[in-house]
Amino acid sequence: MTKNQTSDSVRPIASRRRFLRDGGALMGGALAGSLAGGEAVAAEPGAENLPPNVPEWMKSPGDPMGSQLYGTPSPFEKNVVKNIPKNLKQYISASGRTPLQDLDGIITPNGLFYERHHGGVPTIDPAQHRLMLHGLVDRPLIFTMDDIRRFPSQSRIHFLECSGNPVYTKPYGKTASDLVGLLSCAEWTGVSLKLVLQEAGLQAGAKWVIAEGADAAALTRSVPIEKCLDDAMLVYSQNGERLRPQQGYPLRLLLPGFEGNMNVKWLRRLRVAAEPTYSREETSKYTDLMPDGTAREFTFYMEAKSIITRPSGGQRLDMPGFREITGIAWSGHGKIKRVDISVDDGKSWQEAELQEPVLTRALTRFRLPWHWDGKPAVIQSRATDETGYVQPTLAELLGVRGNNHFYHNNAIWPWLIAADGEVTNAAA
Partner 1 sequence: MRPRDAGIAALALLALASASQAQAPSHYGIGRPATPAEIAGWNIDIDRDGNNLPSGSGSVAQGHEIFDAQCSACHGAKGEGGLGDQLVGGQGTLATAKPVRTVGSYWPYATTLFDYIRRAMPQNAPQSLSNEEVYAVSAYVLNLNGLLPADATLDAAKLKTIKMPNRGMFVGDPRPDVKNPACMSGC
Q: How far is the CB of 147 from partner 1 (least distance, A)?
A: 5
Contact present, 384 and 263 (Cβ < 8 Å): no
d(CA 385, CA 159): 14
Residue range at the interface with partner 1 (CB under 8 A); choices 1-9, 16-24, 149-157, 173-181: 149-157
Q: Which of 141, 167, 229, 354 binds partner 1 (CB under 8 A)?
A: 141
- CB closer to partner 1, 310 vs 382: 382
- CB closer to partner 1, 112 vs 235: 235
Q: Which of 48, 56, 199, 422 binds partner 1 (CB under 8 A)?
A: 199
Q: How far is the CB of 156 from partner 1 (least distance, A)?
A: 19
Binding status of residue 296 toward partner 1 by CB under 8 A:
yes
d(CA 308, CA 323): 13
Q: How far is the CB of 346 from partner 1 (least distance, A)?
A: 6
**Buried b or exposed e, range 344-376, using 16+ CB within 10 angstroms:** eeeeeeeebebeeebbbbbbbbbbbebebeeee
Which positions from 113 through 132 interact with partner 1, judged by CB under 8 A? 118-119, 132
d(CA 279, CA 408): 19
Q: How far is the CB of 133 from partner 1 (least distance, A)?
A: 7
- CB closer to partner 1, 157 vs 211: 211
Binding status of residue 94 toward partner 1 by CB under 8 A:
no
- CB closer to partner 1, 21 vs 89: 89
- CB closer to partner 1, 112 vs 426: 426
Q: Which of 287, 355, 378, 386 binds partner 1 (CB under 8 A)?
A: 287
Which residue from 270, 341, 283, 265 is spatially nearest to 309, judged by alpha carbons?
Answer: 341
Binding status of residue 361 toward partner 1 by CB under 8 A:
no
* Cβ atoms within 10 Å, residue 203: 12
d(CA 181, CA 97): 5
Binding status of residue 151 toward partner 1 by CB under 8 A:
yes
Q: Which of 4, 93, 153, 424 binds partner 1 (CB under 8 A)?
A: 93
Which positions from 389 through 408 interact with partner 1, judged by CB under 8 A? 389-393, 396-397, 399-401, 403-404, 408
Count of residues touching partner 1 (by CB under 8 A): 79
Instruction: Return the DSSP state at 12.
Output: H
CA angle 309, 100, 177 (to 5 degrees): 95
Q: How far is the CB of 115 from partner 1 (least distance, A)?
A: 17
Q: How far is the CB of 340 from partner 1 (least distance, A)?
A: 7
Binding status of residue 378 toward partner 1 by CB under 8 A:
no
- CB closer to partner 1, 106 vs 133: 133
Which residue(s) pair with 163 in the sheet? none
Q: How far is the CB of 148 from partner 1 (least distance, A)?
A: 8
Q: Which of 46, 201, 334, 374 binds partner 1 (CB under 8 A)?
A: 201
- CB closer to partner 1, 103 vs 427: 427
Show contacts of 222-225: CB within 8 Å, 24+ apart.
Answer: 222/273, 222/276, 222/277, 222/278, 222/279, 222/282, 222/298, 223/253, 223/255, 223/258, 223/262, 224/298, 224/300, 225/272
Contact present, 273 and 136 (Cβ < 8 Å): yes
Binding status of residue 348 toward partner 1 by CB under 8 A:
yes
d(CA 424, CA 417): 7
Q: How far is the CB of 347 from partner 1 (least distance, A)?
A: 5
Measured in degrees and rounded to the nearest 5, phi and psi for residue 408 equal 60, 40
- The full length of the chain comes to 428
- CB closer to partner 1, 312 vs 380: 380
Q: How far is the CB of 313 from partner 1 (least distance, A)?
A: 22
Q: Residues with Cβ < 8 Å from 348, sequence gap 6 or more?
A: 342
Q: Which of 86, 347, 356, 373 binds partner 1 (CB under 8 A)?
A: 347
Binding status of residue 198 toward partner 1 by CB under 8 A:
yes
Whether the CA torsion 248, 249, 254, 257 is positive or negative: it is positive
Kind of pairing, strands 131-135 and 267-273? parallel
Q: Which of 49, 277, 355, 424 binds partner 1 (CB under 8 A)?
A: 277
CA angle 69, 97, 345 (to 5 degrees): 130
d(CA 336, CA 302): 13
- CB closer to partner 1, 265 vs 310: 265
- CB closer to partner 1, 112 vs 136: 136
Binding status of residue 82 toward partner 1 by CB under 8 A:
no
